[in-house]
Structure 1
Amino acid sequence: MARDTTDFRPIEGMDELVDYLAAGNKPRDKWRIGTEHEKFPFYVDGNAPVPYGGDRGIRALLEGMQKTLGWDPIIDAGRIIGLVEPTGQGAISLEPGGQFELSGAPLETIHQTCREGNAHLAQLREIAEPLGIRFLGLGGSPKWTLAETPRMPKSRYDIMTAYMPKVGTKGLDMMYRTCTIQVNLDFESEADMRRKMQVSLKLQPLSTALFANSPFTNGRPNGMQSWRGDIWRDTDNQRSGLLEFCFSPEFGFADYVEWALDVPMYFVIRDEQYRDMTHITFRQFMNGAARNEIPQGMPTMGDWANHLSTLFPDVRLKRFLEMRGADGGPWRRICALPAFWVGLLYDPATLDAAEELTRNWTYAEVLAMRDAVPEEGIAAPFRNATLREIGREVLALSRQGLVNRGRKNREGVDESGFINTLDEVIARGTTSAEEMLNAYNTRWGGSIEPAFLEYAY
């Protein structure tokens, strides 16, 4: 989320919380594609991290982008921490370690998504190059220790930084040293949401494997193909992971609300100040636990929207579905991730086929696959096959779904070519992470410094 919400309507009861999610239902012709991608800024001189302040820091980058784009600044405690397009069609935000994120506009086609990404990176280069800054397209920070990683001045991140070590061993790495590509997709009804949630939860480990792109930490191999995927195994398991209740044939909006109510909160915003609320759940908040603790001590709809944005399951439900399994990566991956999911979920015949393929996959099987992927990538086992075989079948479905959509560019080319980069992973039998490790052990001469050349934007 680029900007935390302030909606002061008081919550009267559970039905409003369910209705908030159900308000995301959209007719098929209104379905859109919202792509988010993060990248690590670094100084070309020495491949060093970029701090917030200074003449060549993140603040200067944001101020330069503001002048170029004419977008509105997002201010936190007097500091610029992001930008938002004036009509809400996209935003630029900072992750805790300075990872630079574009939250794209809701678009109709992958062609538009790719053009948006191209334009963003071109604008960013124009501002960043005079500052000596470039951007790294990996899923995990390959060189800098946690102590060396800058911290961005966002109030919510101060609260999260203090809380994370209490609930897991890898939360600070998640915050400060990972990057992702995500896509946000629509649904037309509760039943449609259920189908898409269940298919995408079951296939999220495959997405992690196909996009595995974080094999280095602290300047050396970390034993993983997706270090980012491993980090999510112990970040904060109350609010993240694979949600077993979503596998139920009766799963619906109310079930997600019931789960969300019992997850500890991060914060509320009162009088433009972030208040630490990590000691209570949202249900306790609704029952008056903060009545005497903070101004206006009962929850609002804005509090609910913000709380939903601080939950981190593999697929997150808001008024749309967020696919959260993929590592960050080079430019082609920014287009491939939304193409992969749109092909599977937005074409009715393909969604039917994907649902049939995964229908009898159990929670325990998918969890085991999720646990195997960070180390094994597409070689991870599933039943009597590997994810490479599963991936070949799923990519064929996704490609057919994109062909069926028939969304063509000015040259008459449909969207199916955007997943070519994933077909290459299956054809090679090696992930991007394995390719990097091969380079590290051969032509890179045991150094990760070449990654800053070969995987830079």
Structure 2
Amino acid sequence: MAESQSLTKEELINFLRPNKPFEPKIGIEIELGAVNPQSGKSVPYYGPNGSRAMLEAIWADDEWTPILEGDALLGIKRHDGATITLEHGGALEYSSIPMASVGELVRVTQQDLLRFARLVEEKCGSSLLAFGNTPFDTRADFALVPKKRARIMEEYCTGLGEEGSMAWRLMVQALSTQVTYDFASEEDMSRKMRALVPAAPVSTALFANSPIQDGIVDGVLSHRSQAWLQYDPRRCGTLPMALKDSMTFDEYVEWLFDVPMMFSAEGGQYVPMHGRTFRELWEGDRDDLPHSILSIWKTHISAIFTDVRLRNTIELRSIDGQSFADIPAVPAFWTGILYHPPSLDAVWNLFRHKTLEDVNKAQSEVCQTGLKASYGNDSVRELAAQMLEFARQGLQARVDMGLENAEILEFLNPLEEIVSTGNTRAEQVLQRWNTEFDRSPVKFVEAYRVKEQP
């Protein structure tokens, strides 16, 4: 049996451990809608205004390496390690390199996004939409870019019936702003996960920003988060082992062993796994596997979509895509909490007694009512206010230590406004939609496309 087929469980666990000395850095991933500025609908993959042409326009402007599947251009990687890849429905996902400060991360990200948007507009006549979803796409517009795994994922979720019924929306419509953080050890990982996992419903409410779907307003404030409730509950939502005083890598791996696998990948070859669990693979005959056991493990971990995802970093996924002006608030808020131990512990104390039932109920409710929701016996708005204060204290501490410039404290101002008024960005969008925008997709795109701020 090949060495790659006989890895120990400890070696699988080691894939989750940090692979370098601890240097607390911050990464950001931003999904931007690639849309027609007149209709607001996503552009196709092919054609002069399509998402492939967008990648080619950006590629021609700097030192990028193409990311290909056969002849399909699905992304580009810059010489510094930053990437732009196409999501399944054609959205562009920008992934930064990890950086040591919020200020530097925001500066580079804003410069990059503005340059990309200018190139896309000049070369393709399309717009990059910074929002929580592409609000004017419908099921009739459902079209996947030529990613091999996209069809496998679609078929897998279709086979789940009602439990996977919203997967197509997440593949085609949803846009997010995600941030990643480092941890130093298993103990540090546990300390962070136990605070972040039960905080996810408050994060969903605070950053709710997808109130229009299929061009329709129906009262939901975060359609993106609501869709995650019907993707596949076995790989999404809340990690139950994090709702304790401590969490171990072994517990997480044991949970991963029983999550059905969608596909495996190696060398650009994608093979359906038809819901087989990793435990079945691990305890059975491995001689007929389509790929090495390590490749299957790595792919399996990448297809876990919990609100907080653990790999060798911690990724926060419960955040709707934000407007261009509000993007800095995301890393500012979470860095103030995660990289300031007193703030991190204070957040955990807010949620340490929450049960899995509490978390799941609150997560469902905040999609509808945002900060007006309840979380057990607590007010989501009050919890958000307390978290925001802890984040500000953490950022101030970083400023005092010389790790950040004082202006980063201003990045929290949009969240201060949201908490003080109790109105999420989603509710503010609806107000503008019915008045200032006169329900016009043209005016909507003009307001929320990536552009220089006044």
TM-score (norm 1): 0.92
1:341 and 2:334 aligned: yes
| Alpha-carbon offset, residue 120 of structure 1 | 1.6
Change (3 A) 1:410 1:182: closer
Greater mean alpha carbon deviation, residues 266-275 or residues 369-378: 266-275
Which residues of 2 match residues 62-101 of structure 1 at below 5 A? 62-86=55-79, 89-101=81-93
Partner residue, 1:217: 213
1:369 alignment counterpart: 362
Which ranges of structure 2 fall in alignment gaps of 5 or more residues? none
- The equivalent of 2:110 in structure 1 is 118
Task: For 1:93, give the aligned amino acid.
Answer: T
Query: Which residue identity lines up with residue 100 of structure 2 in the other structure?
Result: E
Distance 1:32 1:270, change over 3 A: closer
Contact 2:194 / 2:245 at 8 angstroms: preserved in 1? no
Where 1:329 maps in the other structure, the secondary structure is coil
Change (3 A) 1:63 1:368: same
> CA separation of 1:328/1:162 partners in 2, compared to 1, >3 Å: closer, same or farther?
same
Shift of 1:223: 2.2
Offset of 1:382 from its aligned partner? 2.6
CA distance in 2, matches of 1:322, 1:384: 28
Aligned partner of 2:14 in structure 1 is: 19
Pair 1:256–1:418, CA change in 2 (3 A):
same
Matched, 1:312 2:305: yes
Tell me what 2:253 maps to.
257
* Distance in 2, Cα, partners of 1:248 & 1:288: 32
Distance change >3 Å, CA 241–CA 54, structure 1 → 2? same
Contact 2:58/2:120 (<8 A) preserved? no
Structure 1: 5+ residue runs without aligned partners? 1-7
Aligned to 1:437: 430
Q: Shift of residue 345 of structure 1?
A: 1.0
Q: Answer yes or no: is the 8 Å Cα contact 1:111–1:409 preserved in 2.
A: no
For the residue of structure 1 that corresponds to 2:180, the secondary structure is strand
Partner of 1:387: 380
- Pairs within 5 Å for 1:35-434: 35-86=28-79, 89-130=81-122, 131-167=124-160, 168-270=164-266, 272-288=268-284, 291-292=287-288, 294=290, 296=291, 298-300=292-294, 302-406=295-399, 412-434=405-427
Are the structure 2 counterparts of residues 33 and 222 from structure 1 closer, same or farther at C-alpha, using a change threshold of 3 Å?
A: same
Displacement, 1:142?
Answer: 0.9
Task: Report the Cα offset of residue 285 of structure 1.
Answer: 2.5
Q: What is the CA–CA distance in structure 2 between the aligned matches of 1:441 and 1:127, rounded to whole Å?
A: 31
Q: Deviations over 1:257-282 (max 9, x none)?
A: 11111112222234532111133112
% identity of equivalent residues: 33
1:455 to 442, 448, 451: 448
Query: How far apart in 2 are the matches of 1:270 and 1:446?
Result: 46
Q: Give the deviation of 1:434 after TM superposition.
A: 0.6
Note the C-alpha offset of 1:148. Answer: 1.0
- Structure 1 SS opposite 2:85: strand
Aligned residues: 444
> d(CA) in 1 for partners of 2:408 and 2:128?
27
Q: Is the 8 A contact 1:181 1:327 kept in 2?
A: yes
Change (3 A) 1:323 1:331: same
Secondary structure, counterpart of 1:68 in structure 2: coil
In 2, are the aligned partners of 1:406 and 1:414 still within 8 Å (CA)?
no
Output the CA distance in 1 between the equivalents of 2:404 and 2:377. 42
| Residue range with higher mean Cα deviation, 367-376 or 16-25 | 16-25
Cα contact 1:72–1:83 (8 A) shared by 2: yes
CA–CA distance in structure 2, aligned partners of residues 386 and 410 of structure 1: 33
User: Contact 2:38/2:442 (CA < 8 Å) preserved in 1?
Assistant: no
* Cα pair 1:146 1:177 within 8 Å, conserved: no
Q: Could you tell me how far apart the structure 2 residues matched to 1:215 and 1:254 are?
A: 39
Distance 1:407 1:227 in 2: 39
Match of 2:27 among 29, 34, 38: 34
CA distance 1:205–1:269, change in 2 (3 Å): same
- 1:383 CA drift (Å): 4.1
RMSD over equivalenced CA pairs, Å: 2.1
| Partner Cα distance (1:307, 1:236) in 2 | 14
The one-letter code matched in structure 2 to 1:216 is I
* 1:224/1:376 contact within 8 Å kept: yes
Q: Distance in 1 between matches of 2:434 and 2:180?
A: 37
Contact kept, 8 Å, 2:354 with 2:376, in 1: the verdict is no
Give 1:380 deviation, angstroms.
Answer: 0.5
